[in-house]
Structure 1
Amino acid sequence: MIRHRRLAALFCLVAVLGLSGCNGVQPPGKRVGGAKQTKPAKKPNIVFVLTDDLSWNLIAHMPQVLAMQREGLTFDNFLMADSLCCTSRATIFTGRYPHNTGVRTNFPPDGGYEVFKAKGGEQASFAPLLQKAGYRTALLGKYMNGYRPHDTQGGTRPYVPPGWSEWYVTGNGYPEYNYNMNENGRIAPYGSRPQDYLTDVLANKGLEFIKRAHGSSQPFFMEISTFAPHGPFVPARRHVGKFPDLRAPRSPSFNEADIRDKPSWLRSHRLLRKPGMDRIDAGFRDRVRMVQSVDEMIGQIRTTLKQLGLDRDTYLMFGSDNGFHMGEHRLAGGKMTAFDTDIRVPYIVIGPDVPSGHRVREAAQNTDLAPTFLELGGVRPPPAIDGRSLMPFLRGTKPSGWRETALIEHVKPPPSPADPDRQDSAPGAPTTYNALRNDDLLYVEYADGEREFYDRRRDPHELNNIVATLPEQRRRHLSALLYALTHCTGESCTAAGRSR
């Protein structure tokens, strides 16, 4: 366990708690003048497209997403509380940090679907609350690592978790072909035909759901969770061969020349040579090819919503569960680090009254998604939620007392041959750490006692670890704040995050 000075931490937490307050929840809708409103405003529809391992450097190759940026709101500093698939998804569903969900890795005993379910994650998810509020809900694609679509959970049919009106979910969809899907409690096999490509199947089922929901008086929430662009990087056949000359971006951190200031887990990495860089370039091309299907799906959803007259009542959000590095800091491919390549991901929203072409600089997190969906549905977020609703930003305003500092936490998983993310659970991957991230800094404390500090104003690519130059008082303050955030729950997370 990472050690901290408890008295200093408690003092820090008490101080920030003194600034805390409560925010009421007001269901979104058109403003009403002096006349009394006799009919409640219609609740908006919500479409959430969640990708897997999508990094910022792919957005330039997604014209439909670029159009969303021009017409909607972009969160420039959307940060994952843990850059790992299952931990991130547990946080997205519940609005709780990983230290509160209990999902710390992708597989038991520290994580995975079994742990999420055993710790009440399905009941704590936003889906049952939205369904109770009158929403027709649907989940399509990926759920949680370790989920098996054929598992009956003691029943007579394949299990569908509570809160979901419609369920089209598979377990191992990473190859994009040859998978089984739980379709509302019935197993449907898919093969290797072009029309079986998973992202396209999800797109078609999503459009069918929208059309069915259009004929209902219920508002709807639909999450399409793609496996793209996660490895093994299999694009649709119509996109194979596109972008033949594309290379992975060469940012200042790419194949970092001097890593003597880095922690020991990273210092073991040698400079990338040409064969390794060629593999990175080939992987990046295939990732760009994969997201073409996702981008086409975005366009199809927008067209269908407009044709049905639903675009004026529907919020469409696009994002990712975590980022992905490919060559930065000598790391060939993966995630789980506290570097921006892994924790800072695209989140873009269009919908009623969302300001066009607007960008938000404030730090948002995946803890904020559940309370946002709930507020859109007119539901008061439960006290156990650690995040805050993003709705003020969607209305073009900045909420008072917004977080100044975000928490990043990560537990190094043991190697597992069944883990598609095992490339980063091997030796040479980051050890267990907790971190603070804001506009000014990235501060990391590792379980083995090593530390990192980057001045992000002067060093946005996080090249120079200057932790040794920090005054002792500054180190104590950062350590105390980190302790407060890693031990927070609910409103105390909001309060602690206001400090820097």
Structure 2
Amino acid sequence: MFINNMLNSLLLLVICGTVCEGKKPNFVVVLTDDQDVVLGGMTPMKNVQRFIGNEGVTFTNSYTTSPICCPSRASFLTGLYVHNHNTYNNSLHGGCYSPSWQNHERRTFANVLQQHGYDTFYAGKYLNEYGTERAGGPERVPPGWSEWHGLVGNSVYYNYTISNNGVPTHSTDLYLTDVIRDVAISYIENQTESRPFLMVLAPPAPHQPFTPAPRHQGVYKNVTAVRHPNFNIAVDDKHWLLTMPPSPLPKSMMPELDRVYRSRWEALLAVDEMVADVIEALDSQSLLEDTYLIYTSDNGYHVGQFSQVYDKRQPYETDIKVPLVIRGPNVEKNVHSDQPVLNIDLAPTILHLAGVDPPKTMDGHPIDLGNKDVGDRAMLVEYYGEGRDGTVDPKCPWSYDSDNLAQCHPLYECKCQDARNNTYGCVRHLAQRVNTKFCYFTDDESFTEIYDLAADPYELRNIKDQMLPAIRHWYQLTLVRLLECKGVTECDITFDQQAF
């Protein structure tokens, strides 16, 4: 009897060891649209801070590979730099949900997880051209997703179409962020512990037109756009696009910048509520302790910096630095990490945490969630101006007539936000005693911008003529290497590695 009991106990231990050790975590990723961190974009996110930041790690040096929606989202999904997934901008001609992308789409981290036993769920904005008739229509469900609620086209808050597992459904009066919340909670409430799941929630906020939910309109009515030292100043040491008139912007434009700034905050409040409701649902289903929660954005945003109006697409910290907070099993609570991370690191990180070896073809590498040090990393930021394929008015920048300012609404009629030769590659380099950005603009003219962010956090002084020739040469060669790199082995570059 004793021997039988002992054998049964040993058998249970073997089974538990096999099953328990093999239990895979769940993942919930919240990917916002155009949420900055430099201008206080995380200020409205009280629930994100309370339920994710205070319970996990906040990354202070998190960057996007490209400061625009579609290329950034393609990098997030594949772990690839822009030059490797070939989605260069938000247009179909620029690769956004083009046939070229649809080939890469079969190699997203969702596909890999699904092949390893995960259920996968997506709700919200995907790629800007997804679901449009010229890109295949809303009947096409991207591979890798078990349940699909993808927004057709670009971010809006009302009057949209969602592809519900390939069935287009139109809504005019339901606030999109709340719809994403509802389908997410319904999905969680139907989960069991039998299969792990990946959930990606991609609300439209705070993307233009910056529409808050009715319950949040006016919450920040007394808030004005942050006036850092680089706000609405004329510049003469930056690439030509930033020197175009009106510079500085006239005082009559300031109320519009303030409206945009506070509307963005108000639009984010529904996202913050969604995060709290999703976490409550996970907790109610006893799933929270086994779930990694990741909160981030596809790119940042500027509102008035260097006399630009409001947009992204520029290489400055406002546009390329993004929020990133992560909590989950065995993640230390309420800590900050200075290590440099890119959005191409998220795909291999999720795979690694799921017990899956990330493909070596991915350009990013798994984030060490326990590392707080800045380390040493040279990261690539690349952007290809949309004017390259005719999507920007060839007469841009438009003429500016101070006597007819009232006609300059929307403000994009007064200021060019993009052009063909707004095309650049940057090395964003962070190390123990280094905080540098090296950017090279190409096309009709070539131009270099270099900033020492440690001494000049607002990028007011282009030091291209003050940098030592040997150091500048290293950055030039490093940029060339990064723009040609393929796979984590080639793309992981530090200053200690000799590029020459």
Partner deviation per Cα, 1:404-423 (whole Å, 9 max, x = no partner): 111111111125389x9989
Which is bigger in relative contact order (C-alpha 8 A, separation at least 6)? Answer: 1
Query: For 2:459, what is the secondary structure of its paired residue?
Result: coil
CA contact 1:95–1:387 (8 Å) conserved in 2 = yes
Query: For 1:58, what is the secondary structure of its paired residue?
Result: coil
CA contact 1:73–1:359 (8 Å) conserved in 2 = yes
1:264 aligns to what?
A: 240
AA aligned opposite 1:179: Y
Query: For 1:253, what is the secondary structure of its paired residue?
Result: coil
Displacement after TM superposition at 1:314 (Å): 0.4
Partner deviation per Cα, 1:88-120 (whole Å, 9 max, x = no partner): 0110111000011111111132221114534x1
Question: Are 1:473 and 2:470 matched, yes or no?
Answer: yes
Task: Note the 1:6-405 alignment, pairs <5 A.
Answer: 37-39=17-19, 40-56=21-37, 57-67=40-50, 68-118=52-102, 120-148=103-131, 153=136, 158-172=139-153, 174-192=155-173, 196-213=174-191, 215=192, 217-256=194-233, 258-269=234-245, 270-390=247-367, 392-393=368-369, 396-397=370-371, 404-405=377-378
Displacement after TM superposition at 1:354 (Å): 1.1
1:26 aligns to what?
A: none
CA contact 2:303–2:310 (8 Å) conserved in 1 = yes
CA contact 1:149–1:159 (8 Å) conserved in 2 = no
Distance 2:97 2:199 in 1: 20
Displacement after TM superposition at 1:211 (Å): 1.2
Distance 1:116 1:347 in 2: 29
Where does the alignment leave 5 or more consecutive residues of structure 1 unmatched?
1-32
Task: Note the 1:449-468 alignment, pairs <5 A.
Answer: 449-468=446-465
CA contact 2:363–2:487 (8 Å) conserved in 1 = yes
Q: Which runs of 4+ in 1 moved over 4 A?
A: 33-36, 149-154, 420-430, 497-500
Name the CA shift for 1:108/1:175 in 2 (closer, same or farther; >3 Å). Answer: closer
Question: Are 1:483 and 2:480 matched, yes or no?
Answer: yes
AA aligned opposite 1:262: K
CA contact 2:97–2:135 (8 Å) conserved in 1 = no
Pick the structure with greater CA Rg: 2
Distance 1:422 1:130 in 2: 42
CA contact 2:382–2:424 (8 Å) conserved in 1 = yes
Distance 2:230 2:99 in 1: 36
Distance 1:453 1:378 in 2: 40
Alignment partner of 1:443 out of 427, 438, 445:
438
Distance 2:314 2:496 in 1: 23
AA aligned opposite 1:263: H
Percent identity for Structure 1 against Structure 2: 34
Distance 1:378 1:421 in 2: 49
Alignment partner of 2:385 out of 394, 403, 412:
412
CA contact 1:141–1:226 (8 Å) conserved in 2 = yes
Distance 2:74 2:135 in 1: 21
Displacement after TM superposition at 1:253 (Å): 1.4
Query: For 1:60, what is the secondary structure of its paired residue?
Result: coil
CA contact 1:452–1:465 (8 Å) conserved in 2 = yes
Displacement after TM superposition at 1:361 (Å): 0.7
Distance 2:135 2:126 in 1: 16
Name the CA shift for 1:166/1:332 in 2 (closer, same or farther; >3 Å). Answer: same
Distance 2:363 2:426 in 1: 17
Distance 1:117 1:427 in 2: 23
Where does the alignment leave 5 or more consecutive residues of structure 2 unmatched?
1-12, 394-409
AA aligned opposite 1:408: V
Distance 1:498 1:381 in 2: 25
AA aligned opposite 1:187: P
Displacement after TM superposition at 1:237 (Å): 1.1
Distance 2:142 2:263 in 1: 33
Name the CA shift for 1:428/1:274 in 2 (closer, same or farther; >3 Å). Answer: farther
Displacement after TM superposition at 1:209 (Å): 0.9
What RMSD over aligned residues (CA atoms) do the two structures have, in Å? 2.7
Alignment partner of 2:424 out of 430, 433, 439:
433
Distance 2:495 2:486 in 1: 14
2:404 aligns to what?
A: none
CA contact 2:392–2:419 (8 Å) conserved in 1 = no
Name the CA shift for 1:441/1:295 in 2 (closer, same or farther; >3 Å). Answer: same
Distance 1:498 1:208 in 2: 48
AA aligned opposite 1:444: C
Moved more, 170-179 or 300-309: 170-179
Displacement after TM superposition at 1:37 (Å): 3.0
AA aligned opposite 1:38: T
CA contact 2:36–2:323 (8 Å) conserved in 1 = yes
TM-score (norm 1): 0.85
Distance 1:153 1:403 in 2: 43
Name the CA shift for 1:457/1:35 in 2 (closer, same or farther; >3 Å). Answer: farther
CA contact 1:407–1:486 (8 Å) conserved in 2 = yes
CA contact 2:378–2:492 (8 Å) conserved in 1 = no
CA contact 1:315–1:349 (8 Å) conserved in 2 = yes
Distance 2:491 2:392 in 1: 38
Displacement after TM superposition at 1:425 (Å): 6.9
Distance 2:96 2:310 in 1: 22
Distance 1:134 1:70 in 2: 31
Displacement after TM superposition at 1:491 (Å): 2.9
AA aligned opposite 1:252: P
Query: For 2:382, what is the secondary structure of its paired residue?
Result: strand
Name the CA shift for 1:297/1:406 in 2 (closer, same or farther; >3 Å). Answer: same
1:30 aligns to what?
A: none
Name the CA shift for 1:427/1:306 in 2 (closer, same or farther; >3 Å). Answer: closer
Displacement after TM superposition at 1:398 (Å): 6.3
